[in-house]
Structure 1
Amino acid sequence: MNEPMRALYDAEQVRELDRRAIAGGIGGYVLMQRAAHACWQAMQAQPQPRRVTVFCGPGNNGGDGYEIARLARAAGAQVSVHALGDPRPGSDAATAKQAWLDDGGRVAPENGASTDADWIVDALLGTGLGRAPQDAMQAAIESINAARERGGRVLAVDVPSGLDASSGYAPGACVRADVTVSFIGSKLGLWTGRGPEMAGQRVFDALGVPEEVYAGVAPRARLQSADALRQLARRPRDAHKNLSGHVLIVGGNLGMGGAALLAGRAALRSGAGLVSVATRREHATALTAAQPELMVHGIDRPEQLDPLLARATVTALGPGLGQDEWARALYARTIADDGALVVDADALNLLARFPRARPNWILTPHPGEAGRLLQTSSAQVQAQRLQTTAQIAERYGGVAVLKGAGSCVSGSPPQICPYGNAGMAVAGMGDTLTGIVAALWAQTGDPALAAQLGVLAHACAGDRAARDGERGLLPGDVIDALRATLDAR
């Protein structure tokens, strides 16, 4: 993945970059032709297209579509064009449409284009989504998706129509693409929320725009790179366990001891020198037998936590904690301690009930927990994932991680993780992430770096573990892949 692709911009920023490129001397129609060429190249990377259907909207995205149609026709493909609306007279899109007609192309009437094609090109909306698609636009999107179900491949021009380029939210019907080719600035919405699922393979082309166009336009976020894991220092030959930190896991209520065990195992496999677990007394023997490297303590009263908290470099509060009287007592005792803290699961739900802020913690909510922290719905969280992450960090302090497809990590700029897979959508993966983040904080002493590298390591280990398939992937498989992931150089 090239460096320009890692800088992520929202829709308005990309429009500004577009304006700057044109003001700098690159004609808008030239950019349109370059965009079409990039799309046609992506289509030719597959078996040679023989039948192509292009859906064109009235804006510049539609203009790209007409130019793609011209390239496909010139290459000998049978091309059908379906237009939803006419371009503005005198616009670059109008020039592209006229060029298509001058080449002998035809434009099918509304709902008249054949979708019996090898490739269906979505050039309807691009970054121009303002609301959920309706009427003819919704019908066109549904036609594109139906053609894909029948075996056609779908290429989305810049952004799948129906997907918000700035957030990754799809408020209604949305094109499900096999390939999305984006231009000039990599779109933030392709990498988080619904974006990773709807965009398919993501290809970026800067269209020859010079570097000075980007000066002064700060990206909204940056994509993480697996190479960042090399920031973890090699251990000296004379290292000892205390140099790698002591992680304390607080959790594992009745019936949920496995969550604390997963967090503890993940911390061990992520390099923590020592890992202790404070859990229900009923679980202590079983957890010790399951992982003898853990120092497991049965806790009946909150004050029993005090010596454990005093020894810990980082405490992870929440895996399997619950919200009963025992859980609330341990939560209050742990929160009262001023040590480094990673907060997850039911500890986040208790934090939402009893809000407070502090600078030295990492909060790792999923969308439901994030909604409770901000007193909003998980749907609203998903509609504004990056903004939600920033709001949590602003309201509660510390570093915030919003889990999910394209996990977001707060910061300047925030980071979005492009790795991970659907097999990781299973109980216990969050507990695993908590243990990883706590262990990396214990080793680096840097909460922001620990959150960034923890999210990255978790996702990359998940991808390594899923090489034999995603269905049936377990947290234990990810934990087993951590050592190779973190030691890769």
Structure 2
Amino acid sequence: MAQDLSHLPSGLYTSATVKQAEQAWVDAGEGDLYQLVERAGKAAFELLKSSLKRPQKVLVVAGQGNNGADALVCMRHLLQADIECALLLHPGTHPTAQWQQAWQQLQDFSFERLASDGWIEADIIVDGLLGTGIRGQLSPEVALLIDNINLSDAKVLSLDLPSGIMADTGAASGSAVQADMTLIMGALKQGLLTGRARHCAGELHFADIGLTPYLPAPEVQRVDGHMLAEIFKARPRDSHKGLSGRVTIIGGDYGMAGAIRLAGEACLRAGAGLVSVISRPEHQLTVNNGRPELMFRGCELVDMEVYQRLGWADVLVLGPGLGRHDWGYNLFKAVGLTEKRAVVDADGLNILSTEPRCHPNWVLTPHPGEAATLLGCDSHAIEADRFAAVRQLQRQYGGTVLLKGAGTLICNGSQLYVAPVGNPGLASGGCGDVLSGIIGALMAQGLENFLATVAAVVVHGEAADLAARDGERGMLASDLMPWIRHLVNTQ
């Protein structure tokens, strides 16, 4: 099961903003920067003491920045508690003043110091190598240290960030420590909840070291399943299907009937009152077999009946299985002639990339490959800075943009949310079609586009986490359906 992150702050910050808050803390007369180091190191010691069995030996791997200073303070407390420690120090060119103070405080204790290229096995490794101080590519010496940490059988506690992970993006600079736990100091760094960091950070813990009053209003926020109870209130007893929204879903070219069927069923399971599907006539049996609640309109050519079905809907969902041939392109153009609220996914996005336009009332749902196509780059550039990518997509195409992946991002230009929900079981065909159906359903039920998208991402991810109780590998998109219904009835 996914970790419950409700104990974490909702605001997310860049490393520069956190440094400004630290300086504001000092300027307010709260203390000096070394006192923050002392608090951070003490918090790391307390976490080790409370959450792990008493270790036989701890290896502290530290650099000479303030992250390394936190590690040295933690080590001093471990030694005071009569826990055997060894130190592997990676020398820097300019140790910080705070590191020098922490080092001086450590000199009253006896411990084993390893050469920078040495190594020993331990029960616990404290990773204080880089923290937020990473700049560019790692040196071969640092990369080797990280590889040794990852090859060890020891439990790993990373301080603030797993070394090698970039605080502002969640991307890895080559190698990155794969921690069992990460203790976040003072403020939640935005990169920890998305990208490669989702794999490397392990169980997240938070240490309040006193910065909260000095942090500005966050530009990025975290969201999870605890929001759902505020959204899904009980329906009035006199409700009828006309009050629950009408959705038309367009797609399913030859060989892709499953995509449109999954999107349609997810739309129904998420509470839409009426759902109509426009697809190839040959796909009616596939769509309606076992799901007769879906209305079906076979389409060979875009005619008046198609336009009537588009006009009938409150919300359009375009793209699941649409294809990139003339059939799909003509449907794309037909949807573009309407002013309807719309969700554009899959091949709808691929066609959009060939005829770029900006629209304030749609929701775009690219995965990194589709995002790269829309921005004219490659997926590596998207994953290198997912925050920059989703903002650029929103500026260029308008509306609300959802960038899928580990730690989905949702942006409407004024708000940016990170949803650290879901699991690798979602990396299978059809899961994106399910998400599009949920978004369309929530929009049709009256939620504003951005809120509908955020809530749909949470429902989708939480449903995946519930479905993964039977294992992530082999999980199907259709396995989410009963859990979607369960989650939209959270009250």
Q: Separation in 2 of the partners of 1:284 and 1:223?
A: 41
Equivalent residue, structure 2, for 1:340 = 341
Q: Separation in 1 of the partners of 2:308 and 2:203?
A: 51
Equivalent residue, structure 2, for 1:46 = 52
Q: Separation in 2 of the partners of 1:285 and 1:218?
A: 52
Determine whether 1:71 maps to 2:77.
yes
Instruction: Give the superposition deviation at 1:212.
Output: 2.9
Equivalent residue, structure 2, for 1:12 = 16
The correspondence of residues 214-253 of structure 1 with structure 2, limited to 5 A, is 214=215, 217-230=216-229, 231-253=231-253
Equivalent residue, structure 1, for 2:108 = 102
Q: Separation in 2 of the partners of 1:89 and 1:373?
A: 44
Q: Separation in 2 of the partners of 1:398 and 1:234?
A: 29
Specify the code of the residue in structure 2 equivalent to 1:52: V
Residue aligned with 1:55, SS: strand
Specify the code of the residue in structure 2 equivalent to 1:39: A
Instruction: Give the superposition deviation at 1:4.
Output: 6.0
8 Å Cα contact 1:8-1:185 kept in structure 2: yes
8 Å Cα contact 1:84-1:124 kept in structure 2: yes
Q: Separation in 1 of the partners of 2:213 and 2:127?
A: 31
**Aligned to 2:123, which of 106, 118, 122?**
118
8 Å Cα contact 1:363-1:399 kept in structure 2: yes
Equivalent residue, structure 1, for 2:259 = 259
**Aligned to 2:174, which of 172, 175, 182?**
172
Instruction: Give the superposition deviation at 1:220.
Output: 3.1
Q: Separation in 2 of the partners of 1:289 and 1:434?
A: 21
Q: What TM-score, normalized by structure 2, do the two folds share?
A: 0.95
Residue aligned with 1:12, SS: helix
Q: Work out the percentage of aligned pairs sharing the same amino acid.
A: 38
Determine whether 1:59 maps to 2:31.
no
Residue aligned with 1:432, SS: helix
8 Å Cα contact 1:192-1:416 kept in structure 2: yes
Q: What TM-score, normalized by structure 1, do the two folds share?
A: 0.96
Equivalent residue, structure 1, for 2:141 = 136
Specify the code of the residue in structure 1 equivalent to 2:58: V
8 Å Cα contact 1:87-1:94 kept in structure 2: no
Post-superposition CA distance 1:260-317 (Å, at most 9, x none): 0000000000000000000011101221123101001110111241010010010100
With over 3 angstroms needed to count, the CA separation of the structure-2 counterparts of 1:105 and 1:43, relative to structure 1, is: same
Equivalent residue, structure 2, for 1:197 = 199
Give the RMSD, CA atoms, in angstroms: 1.5
Instruction: Give the superposition deviation at 1:106.
Output: 4.4
With over 3 angstroms needed to count, the CA separation of the structure-2 counterparts of 1:280 and 1:67, relative to structure 1, is: same
Residue aligned with 2:420, SS: coil
With over 3 angstroms needed to count, the CA separation of the structure-2 counterparts of 1:90 and 1:425, relative to structure 1, is: closer
Determine whether 1:349 maps to 2:350.
yes
Deviates more, 1:66-75 or 1:157-166: 66-75
With over 3 angstroms needed to count, the CA separation of the structure-2 counterparts of 1:2 and 1:256, relative to structure 1, is: closer
Residue aligned with 1:302, SS: coil
Instruction: Give the superposition deviation at 1:17.
Output: 1.4
Q: Name stretches of at least 5 consecutive residues in structure 1 with no aligned partner.
A: none
Q: Name stretches of at least 5 consecutive residues in structure 2 with no aligned partner.
A: none
Post-superposition CA distance 1:371-427 (Å, at most 9, x none): 111111111111111121111111111100000100000043310002111111111
Specify the code of the residue in structure 1 equivalent to 2:15: A
Instruction: Give the superposition deviation at 1:90.
Output: 7.2
Q: Separation in 2 of the partners of 1:21 and 1:122?
A: 26
Specify the code of the residue in structure 2 equivalent to 1:170: A
Post-superposition CA distance 1:132-153 (Å, at most 9, x none): 2112111111111111xxx211
Equivalent residue, structure 2, for 1:92 = 98
Instruction: Give the superposition deviation at 1:450.
Output: 0.8
With over 3 angstroms needed to count, the CA separation of the structure-2 counterparts of 1:97 and 1:106, relative to structure 1, is: farther
With over 3 angstroms needed to count, the CA separation of the structure-2 counterparts of 1:445 and 1:418, relative to structure 1, is: closer
Q: Separation in 1 of the partners of 2:251 and 2:110?
A: 70
8 Å Cα contact 2:72-2:103 kept in structure 1: yes
Residue aligned with 2:297, SS: strand
8 Å Cα contact 1:54-1:121 kept in structure 2: yes
Determine whether 1:455 maps to 2:422.
no
Q: Separation in 2 of the partners of 1:317 and 1:429?
A: 15
Post-superposition CA distance 1:36-61 (Å, at most 9, x none): 12212222302112211011101111
Q: Separation in 2 of the partners of 1:125 and 1:179?
A: 16
Equivalent residue, structure 1, for 2:403 = 402
Q: Separation in 1 of the partners of 2:297 and 2:114?
A: 72
The correspondence of residues 380-391 of structure 1 with structure 2, limited to 5 A, is 380-391=381-392
Q: Separation in 2 of the partners of 1:174 and 1:310?
A: 51
Specify the code of the residue in structure 1 equivalent to 2:224: S
Equivalent residue, structure 2, for 1:27 = 32
Equivalent residue, structure 2, for 1:289 = 289
Instruction: Give the superposition deviation at 1:445.
Output: 4.3
Determine whether 1:331 maps to 2:335.
no
Post-superposition CA distance 1:189-220 (Å, at most 9, x none): 110011111100111112133x4312xx2323
Q: Separation in 2 of the partners of 1:193 and 1:89?
A: 30
Q: Separation in 1 of the partners of 2:95 and 2:261?
A: 66
Equivalent residue, structure 2, for 1:369 = 370
Q: Separation in 2 of the partners of 1:286 and 1:29?
A: 66
Instruction: Give the superposition deviation at 1:2.
Output: 5.1
Q: Separation in 1 of the partners of 2:85 and 2:69?
A: 15
